[in-house]
Amino acid sequence: MIKTLSIFLGITLLAPLVPCAQAKTPSQPNILLILADDFGWGDTSCNNPDTHLKTPAIDRIANEGIRFTNAHTPSAVCTPTRYGLLTGRYPWRTFLKKEVLRYYAPALITKGRTTIPSYLKSQGYRTGGFGKWHLGLDWTPVEGDPVNWRANWNVYDPDDRAQLKKNVARLAKGIDHTKPFKNSPIDIGFDTYFGTASNCGRLPFFILDNKVFGKLRSPDGQMRDPKPVRDTVDDIYVARAIGFIEEHEKNHQDKPFFVYLPLNAIHGAVLAPERFVGQSNMTKREDKILWANESVGKMLAALDRMKLTDDTLVIFTADNGPLNSPDARKKGHEATGPYRGFKTNVWDGGTRVPFLARWPKHIPPGATTDHLIGLTDVLATIAGVCGSPLSDGAGPDSVNQLPALLQEKDKMVTRRSLVTYSYAGFFTLRQGKWKAIFGTKWSGGHPGDSYGGSAPKGMAADDPDIGQLYDISVDPFEQKDLWEKRPEVVTSLLSELERIKQLDKSDEIRWQQGDVPNRLLKKPQ
């Protein structure tokens, strides 16, 4: 029976430092990576024991493995974090300098870019993904391309929902949904992928491998499939993931497998199934946490049933922090724990997420660490698991954290620095005891109340010459801004950020060669 590495994305990768071969060897782990959506640091009861909202299945991973309390997403929103996780690259190196991909967006990951599944496929793994993609696809336009899809994909009008629907319907009519799309999940390393192109509300139909799956209807101009029901999609993804593992164990035991399970819960695009409505005694958002916990429990139970538990590395993490949930807070549930800010923000509440990993007999049970890690580190950590180095240029922002997972403290690597960025594209850099936020005195996030609201009246406008600086060794909750008092530290951290920006300019080369996905985007400076 092959060893199994299981990741709940969250996401974590663990395994022995031994070479991976093209055929299965006793040392090769299977990998299960589960990624929750909009799931806060404090939404797990193992991180937040004072909450009345309990997540026993998720906690099981921590109790039987390790809990990282200082893990960060590369972005405070969805699309860029998914890119960083799968490629080991900071997502701002791409054309997506802020916000997220919307509707019929072009592919953010293109063929030839090293990813977790492409790397593992080169090591002999079978790779499957099940869930929310939200990384763009290169759609096939209808003959003649009348809407010039690639130049006009970024339809967004938050002030006029009716006009937005018309714009999306127009785009949909310009896409040939019967033709394969390029730079699909199977083009970047997955043997198979089933899920939704975006979340189940934005593009309400399924994709399978490199095509639209099922029969579509278009009552309002936008393509729809009645089967992606908002309170069932994660149940479908979990069932498909378990089916993939069952089929693998039956027919492909000569190879290890990798499963990527990006759930759509607890995002606002989904609804809690009836069995969970009202069960949290808080809000609809917290009801969906119970759904995500059940999904994790189903995966762990499947591993138990197939006798894969001892050979499996399981990782749980999330794509960004949570929305503001004031009603839940009144009932004692702090979704971000003690940390400042929410989804979309520059503060830790936007990027600090649960990161739990279990691998019996390898990861010490019940371990806890504040070792700094980023989700971009997963790729290099997997390479460490396999003992086979990444190719030149792959994962430039990824650090092998396998020793930290295994708690081999004499081998653990301290990150020189870690970069994150917000919904509006504002950078943060943490190095040692310092965290700098560049360009804003406020959150750098969405101005809506669910994300913390607009800047207080009279606060300085966003400006490249302003920012925030915190000594997180004594001020982990980012309350005392030292930007004006420590200019020498600001200068040093800005220099480090500029150094990091120069490490990989491969996307700028593509830009100069004319591979521009949106004519409205500014050329990077």
* Residue 29 near residue 337 (C-beta atoms within 8 A): no
* Per-run averaged pLDDT (10 residues), the chain, 525 residues: 43 34 59 98 97 97 98 98 98 95 94 96 96 97 89 81 87 92 97 95 94 83 83 97 97 92 96 97 97 98 96 94 96 97 98 96 96 98 91 95 96 96 97 97 94 87 90 98 98 97 79 48 36
| Spatial CA neighbour of 124 closest among 392, 315, 363, 387 | 387
Cα torsion 438, 439, 443, 445 to 10°: value is -110
**d(Cα 340, Cα 354) in Å, to the nearest integer?**
15
* Amino acid type, 170: R
- The pLDDT score that the predictor gives to residue 22 is 41
**DSSP output for 286-325:** HHHHHHHHHHHHHHHHHHHHTT-GGGEEEEEEESS-PPP-
- The pLDDT score that the predictor gives to residue 83 is 98
- The pLDDT score that the predictor gives to residue 329 is 95
For β-strands 467-471 and 434-438, DSSP reports them as antiparallel
pTM: 0.93
Bond prior to 188 in cis (omega within 30° of 0): no
Q: Which residues, including other chains, have CB under 8 Å from residue 132's CB and lie 6 or more apart? A: 37, 195, 196, 198, 199, 200, 262, 263, 264, 267
Neighbours of 227 (CB within 10 A): 15
Q: Which residues, including other chains, have CB under 8 Å from residue 503's CB and lie 6 or more apart? A: 396, 397
End-to-end CA distance of the chain: 52
Residue 480 pairs in a beta bridge with none
- The pLDDT score that the predictor gives to residue 1 is 43
**d(Cα 231, Cα 328) in Å, to the nearest integer?**
21
Cα torsion 42, 48, 51, 54 to 10°: value is 90
- The pLDDT score that the predictor gives to residue 253 is 87
**d(Cα 138, Cα 332) in Å, to the nearest integer?**
45
* Alpha helix segments (H runs only) across 200-307: 233-251, 284-305
